[in-house]
Amino acid sequence: MIGKLNHVAIVVPDLAAASAIYRDTLGGDVSEPVNLREHGVTTVFVNLPNTKIELLHPFGDDSPIAKFLENNPSGGMHHVCYEVDDILAARDKLKADGARVLGDGDPKIGAHGKPVLFLHPKDFCGTLVELEQV
């Protein structure tokens, strides 16, 4: 069902500083920040030859990652994102197998403009999983 690893997301307390580390220290191809109001985050993508790193920072008062940053003031890994061909078929199979889909279960449009879903970390070895339709 899952395809390529699309990205690994890291919550950071200072987006500009994190971007500079990935750009200047590691020599990465770092995008400009994008505010995603509907998701409550500002994102920066570090493009790698085989995947991406997503740097996340809270945006707005209702940011779902604000609590994560409060509990992890230095930041840390937040989720992994896998590609799927058909997000609705993937959702239905996962639910039939007992996995919990977060939110209302309907895909939302993610940072890449494609449908995404998040899966409960307790069902996936303690890791929050995002699925993105390609």
For the chain, the straight-line distance linking the first and the last C-alpha, in angstroms and rounded, comes to: 12
Q: Is 56 helix (H, G, I), strand (E, B) or coil?
A: strand
- Cβ-Cβ contacts under 8 Å for 27 (sequence gap 6 or more): none
Catalytic residue among 32, 38, 70, 130: 130
Backbone φ and ψ for 57, nearest 5 degrees, come out as: -140, 140
With CA atoms as reference, report the closest residue to 41 among 5, 71, 74, 79.
79
DSSP 3-state assignment of 89?
helix
**Residue count of the chain:** 134
130 is catalytic: yes
Catalytic residues, which ones? 130
